[in-house]
A and B are shown apart, each in its own frame.
Chain A
Amino acid sequence: MFVPIELRKEDGRLIYVRGEIRKILPECEIIVNPVEPINLPKNVTRYLEIDFPPVLIKPNAIETIYLKFPIEIGVFAKEGDKITVVDVFTFDKPKYTLYGTPKNGVVCRWFWSEVYYEIPEVDPLKHGVLKLVIKNGGDWVEVGKVVLDCYAMKIYYSEFASCWAEMKILSKISAETTFVDKPIIGGMKKAIELYTTRRLIGRSFTMEWGLK
């Protein structure tokens, strides 16, 4: 797939061009990596909801599934240990949804994925692979969606982007989701995050408006 960004050197400066966006940068290291999928067309939320065909989980069982998730691509300028965002774009079509009620729910970036039991092939410019470990300490439960707080998202990448999340079932209609700060396979590099500074706000999300 054609990546529509251009970086050229002019008069000792770097010129970054993507479509109508044109920025002049000082000479510095440029890093391109997948970032949290909640910025485009405009940041209105911190949550990602992935819907998938309902999976029935046995009582007191742990089930690991793989889902696809959307990615956005961040372009960063780096000097020493200081990093700033130059641009964020995506090849995917974003869509948003509401998880919960119009009074108390949360707006989420929405995505539909099939369920896989091993790492699926993905279009690496559009999608990543989410390893979801569902921990059910109670009765039978049906799970057809996961809502994650992207401010705590930990993306790792190599040939494709990936992240790892856990879903602890609290009841038939509620669960707690958390990102795990580990790559799903060896040899992956940690992506620069857009929302590192806000990590203190909360690392887990409680899904209290249903699991399917």
Chain B
Amino acid sequence: MTVSIEGLVIFAFAVVLGVIVAKIVGIYIRRSLADKIPKNELNLILKIVNVSMVAVFVLFALPFVGVNPSGLIAAGGFAGLVVGFASRSVVANLVSGIFLMAERPIRIGDQIMVGDIAGFVEDIQILSTIIRTYDGLFVRIPNEKMFTSDIVNLVANPVRRFEYVVGISYKDDAKKAIEIIKKVIDEHPFALKNPEPQIFVNELGESSVNIVVRVWSPSSVWYDVKTELLWKIKVELDKAGIEIPFPQRVVWLRRERDELGKDVST
């Protein structure tokens, strides 16, 4: 098979042209749809359009470098076997990526947990998914691993619930404490009105009467609300003189005396 210089130049020109056309079409699509569809879906469309357009230009240009696209199909049998075996994990990641995009358990921007990695989904690529952990680390997870792992999407549903256990001392009035906690929750804008918060005495503990507080909040601000409310509850209980006790144990010491009444306890 001989390849002429002209053929190579035409092939290179076609590939470059394909990239440029894909870029221009991408910009046009981005401008047209930016306000109308979510960012992650737009990115997915852009990727598909980009890859498809470049592939079309490459296919058209292949005959100029002596490759007949229809011949590729015939040669695909054996070559496919060899390449497929060599690139098994690449193909597995690719197929997993396609399934992930179709099933869509996660979207760009979601907060997720995969194994012991938690953070924001930065990108879902053909072969891998990029996570930015809460402490700012870049983590690349192969799509095959993503597809076979348990994915916890922290923001898939519009709301989430969190729970505290607030222990008050036995001498304090639990009913009053519940009223105070309820008022603090009512005043927080993102502690949802419905589903109603639940506040009740759950356990008579060793050192405290334990009140369970369950609050629903929009998933996007869930963590902020959780951290803000707990301290507000503590402050308001303090103001009302309600004690949040330390773990404590009452120890009784028995005094032993001899016949003369002298203390002989050790």
A interface residue numbers (CB < 8 A to B)? 40-42, 44-45, 93-99, 102-103, 105-107, 110, 197-198, 200-201
Q: How far is the CA of A175 from the CA of B221 in the complex (A)?
A: 29
Interface residues on B, range: 10 to 19
- CB pair A198 B158 closer than 8 Å: no
B-to-A contact residues, CB < 8 Å: 35-36, 157-159, 161, 186-187, 189-190, 192-195, 216, 218, 220-221
Closest to A105 in B: B158
User: Are the C-beta atoms of B158 and A106 separated by less than 8 Å?
Assistant: yes
A-B contact count (CB 8 A): 51
* Chain B interface SS verdict (over half): loop
Q: Which 3 A-B pairs have the closest CB atoms?
A: A97-B193, A94-B189, A44-B218
Q: What B residues does A102 contact at CB under 8 A?
A: 157-159, 161, 195, 216
> Min CB distance, A60 to chain B, in Å?
31
From B194, which residue of chain A is reached at the shortest CB distance?
A97
| Contacting pair A44 B193 (CB below 8 A) | no
CB distance from A27 to the nearest CB of B (A): 31
Q: How far is the CA of A178 from the CA of B164 in the complex (A)?
A: 40
Residue of B nearest to A40 (CB): B189
A-B contact pairs, 13 of them (CB 8 A): A40-B189, A44-B221, A93-B189, A94-B189, A95-B186, A95-B189, A96-B189, A96-B192, A99-B194, A103-B157, A105-B158, A110-B194, A201-B36
Closest to A111 in B: B193
Picked from A44, A94, A97, A200, the residue with its CB within 8 Å of the CB of B220 is: A44
Please state if A96 and B193 are interface contacts (CB–CB under 8 Å): yes
Determine the distance from Cα of A54 to Cα of B263 in the docked complex, in whole angstroms.
77
Distance (whole angstroms) from the CB of B106 to the closest CB of chain A: 16
Q: CA of A107 to CA of B187 in the docked complex: distance in angstroms?
A: 17
- The CA-CA distance from A41 to B190 in the complex, in Å, is 9
> Which residues does chain A contribute within 8 Å of B35, judged by CB atoms?
197-198, 200
